[in-house]
Amino acid sequence: MTEKISIHTDTIQLDQFLKWAGIIDSGGQTKYFLDNKSVKINGIVVTEKRKKIVVGDIIEVKDIGIWQIVHEN
Identify the helix (H) or strand (E) that includes residue 40.
strand 39-41
Cα–Cα distances in Å, from 72 out to 6, 36, 43, 66?
A: 5, 31, 23, 18
Q: 5-37 pLDDT, tens per residue?
A: 999 998 999 999 999 889 999 878 999 999 999
pLDDT at 28: 83
Taking the model in full, what pTM does it have?
0.89
Q: What is the span of the domain harbouring residue 32?
A: 2-71
- Is the pLDDT at 54 greater than 80, yes or no? yes
- How many structural domains is the chain composed of? 1
| Contact criterion met (CB below 8 Å) for 30 and 49 | yes
pLDDT at 43: 98
The CATH number of the domain holding residue 18 is 3.10.290.10
